Amino acid sequence: MVDIGLPSQVYMNLFSNAVNYTETITGHTGKPRKALTYEVEKIEDFPAAGQQGLKLNVFATGTPLGKAECQQIFTEGYRSGNSADISGSVHGGESGCEPTEEGNNFYFILPLTVGIPENNHFNEPYD
């Protein structure tokens, strides 16, 4: 179990940084675009076989970060040079950065102690 305020703050910080640093790109369509997206997904066998985790993602278009920047991105006070898959640690889970051709996906995964409802409506109460 975790203090819900701490993961909420981490997710809020990911959104805030994405808003500040999202860049316009000319992607595979050839048309300029600027995008910020989010996703919540269930991860099987995390942190161990037979267990589940919850992965919270924030993707922003822009210059893909290099391996060295991804290693440092979750270090307190660090700012990227442009102000893989390297993980940090948060509440027994992990955090990381996944650079792509069109931008970067920032995420953190928390281990679940209760199941996710089959309908995947995360904002609805469940037992």
| AA identity, residue 87 | S
Residue of higher predicted confidence among 87 and 42? 42
* Topology (CATH level 3) of domain 5-111: Heat Shock Protein 90 (3.30.565)
pLDDT for res 113: 75
**Structure tokens belonging to residue 110:** 């928390």
Span 77-120, pLDDT tens digits = 554 444 334 444 465 688 889 999 999 999 999 888 765 556 55
In the chain, where the domains are located: 5-111
